[in-house]
Amino acid sequence: MSIQSQSSRVIYGGYNVTATTNYIYNDSGSNAATSGWFKCKADNIVVQIAVATLTASALWYQIEGKRTGLFTNDRNAAIYSATVTATTTVDTLVNVTESMEYLRVGAYVGNEATPNNFYAGIILTDHN
């Protein structure tokens, strides 16, 4: 099976995640229910996560997915969640095996320590 097409979408490009009580879903610091969603119809979906600088005690991130029309209010579901501690730098790839129409990545830190440089992107691959 050969690759027919491949594209990527940057969600966070080194964004300094600051203290919030909710997930932030893009480099604009938005935490609205409609923020950060990317249409992700592809044969293979990988989310790449990196934390370059972390001065908070921890950074939480979560990959969420949804399908429109599934519920009357298009509820989103957590696909993958993880915590990065202050002594850890993480560079990881997460394969999304669930068939979702839309994906987003949320991140938050629970205290005021900065900077917390977070990177996340979605890689979409279609095969023939």
Whether the Cβ atoms of residue 41 and residue 51 lie closer than 8 Å to each other: no
Candidate from 25-34, 41-50, 54-63 with smallest mean pLDDT:
25-34
pLDDT at position 108 over 80: yes
Tell me: the pLDDT tens digits for 64-76?
A: 998 877 666 677 8
Question: What is the model's pTM?
Answer: 0.87
Cα–Cα distance, 86 to 44 (Å, whole number): 31
Share of the chain above pLDDT 90, in %: 37
Cα–Cα distance, 102 to 66 (Å, whole number): 5
User: pLDDT band for position 61 (50/70/90)?
Assistant: very high
Per CATH, the architecture of 3-27+34-127 is what? Answer: Sandwich (2.60)
